[in-house]
A and B are shown apart, each in its own frame.
Chain A
Amino acid sequence: MAEVQIEKVQPVQETISSPWRDAWRILIRNKLAVVGFGIIVFFILLALLAPYITPYPYDKGELVNRNKPPSAEHWFGTDYNGRDIFTRVIYGAQISLRVGVLAVLGSALAGTVLGLLAGYYGRWVDMLISRVFDIMLAFPSILLAVAIVAILGPSLNNAMLAIAIVNIPTYGRLVRSIVLRLKQEDFVTAARAIGMGDARIIFHHILPNSLAPIIVTGTLGIATAIIEAAALGFLGLGAQPPQPEWGVMLSDSRQYIQHAPWSVIFPGLSIMLTVLGFNLVGDGLRDALDPRMKN
């Protein structure tokens, strides 16, 4: 009587459908996300293969070839020191991708831990962490980053650290709000009713259900971090010459923009393309991971 409506037929071939697999299926059907993914893979390959595909050293130029327009020898032209811009743009990909990914990993990791603590334990823990976040968010992020770099001294690593610190509240608040919602969910109550400890509840139930929005924000955050690193480089507070960081290249070539526009166009274009790539993938991930899109 009890099992009347249950089909007892063994399905012939069942496609395994887990939430992550479903999300992946939706993602690869999204053309824009695939384009973005292609852009990112392209830049990653350039960065990895930089020593093999670049014809010139990135830090030494021939002064006779200053500010030469694009040609067969120098595809993207040369800069005011006679350095090959194509080579520098490719090495720049190494720097920008590393900065973007590491800065986001750092802020996402710290933000997630703080957000979990604030959301799960509440009370004075939440009070303390949330007020610190409020104070940090009261500053314009680039200003705070400038202040941190000013204290630590200008370098690429310090710029990366500054970007990571500045973005912690973004992830912290996101995770806190997710945890506050999840804590009320019946499946978390069920876990407590079973007799599960806090650690297991956090790592088996709350964290896995927070990952999707963290991944989406993180992917979009890589784009922001790349821009922020370029901005700090442009201000002379990030990577230092002769490092071929895209922001540094922009500021170096600023005075030659009239008669050697290629020295500004190609680094600028690279920033734009990578940022676009991460944004497209981030948007695609949001659509794929949003549970409200579930059929």
Chain B
Amino acid sequence: MTELLTVKNLKTYYPITGGVFGRQIGTIKAVDDVSFSVRSGETLGLVGESGCGKSTTGRSILRLTEPTSGEILFDGVSITRLKPRELRSIRRNLQLVFQDPFASLNPRHNVEKILEEPLVVHGIGSSQERKKRVHEILEIVGLSSYHARRYPHQFSGGQRQRIGIARALITQPKLIVADEPVSALDVSIQSQVLNLMQDLQREFGLTYLFIAHDLSVVRHISDRVGVMYLGRIVELAPKDELYDRPLHPYTKALLSAVPNPDPDAKRERIILQGDVPSPANPPGGCAFHPRCSEAREVCRTTRPPLGDVGDGHYAACHLYNE
């Protein structure tokens, strides 16, 4: 399988400004040296707590937030330094689905206008062809063509998310970054939208970067899963490998927090001590060491690289990188 997206040493820092003249007095390291790749046709899940930088990673890849440094290769082209005009033509292949289905649709546009707009921007088709395409895509995402004249406020959350997916899909992109696409939906609707996304992936050969905090949702949809902590990827592995044999102490703690429906199941809950440190001032060495029960001296001083531990399993931990 070829790699559709390769992210190398991506860093996205936000300045903290203060004072009357807005001088920079610090830096939030939202994404701090992240590298991974997404293969064509697969779904890579990114999980982590709120504020761990997973959404910023997604937005940096789309250049909606300007990365501070690093390189993003999409379909063999480095898009990190492209000018806005050059980037525009790439955008039809690189789309985004949002978390909040209420905020992501313009309340003053009807569905037809919302869905037609990407085609207009990229100069695809004549007016009639575009309208036809809008009606087709509505059917594809499980709505009906008579919905085209309605406005976003006339739809339920699940239906709106289908419209959001239709908008991302209409330019026939190669990669869709889905930023928590189901976390704002009811549980019953979540599975419908997830199944829709899987059907679409099969039908159109889509590649997903699926960002979420819900571990079972990520397990359901992903082929491989990356775990993020404080702006860094701490572990990356095929999903069954990761869920059955987590290596990094943070991943172990995270997975132990997933509720298990079997009351007789024997399991050990790992309760982490302390809070997530501030990304403005992350701990030296391994970012997780102050909360890690197995921290050693080296963890305090040296940042562990994301090392290969076999079977496509990568972990950024000194316990495994001898």
B-contacting residues of A (Cβ < 8 Å)?
1-6, 8, 10-11, 14, 16-19, 185-187, 189-197, 200, 204-205, 208-209, 291, 294
Contacts and interface: CB of A to CB of B under 8 A. Distances in A.
A133 B233 CA distance: 47
A194 B104 contact: no
A186 B104 contact: yes
A204 B144 CA distance: 25
A227 B84 CA distance: 49
A195 B151 contact: no
B151 A190 contact: no
A186 B98 contact: yes
Interface stretch (B87-95, B252-260, B306-314): B87-95
Interface of B: 62, 64, 87-89, 91-92, 95-96, 98-100, 103-110, 117-118, 121-122, 142-144, 146, 149-151, 153-154, 158-159, 164, 167, 171, 192, 195-196, 199
B118 A194 contact: yes
A interface SS class: loop
A5 B146 CA distance: 16
Given A187-B104, A291-B107, A195 B92 contact: yes
B150 A17 contact: yes
Nearest to B156: A5
B62 A186 contact: no
Contacts of B158: 5
Contacts of B121: 194-196, 200
Contacts of A197: 88
A185 B102 CA distance: 10
Contact of A187 (B62, B91, B105, B154): B105
Given A6-B144, A186-B98, A194 B199 contact: no
B143 A6 contact: yes
Nearest to B106: A187
B61 to A, nearest CB: 11
Contact of A18 (B98, B110, B118, B195): B110
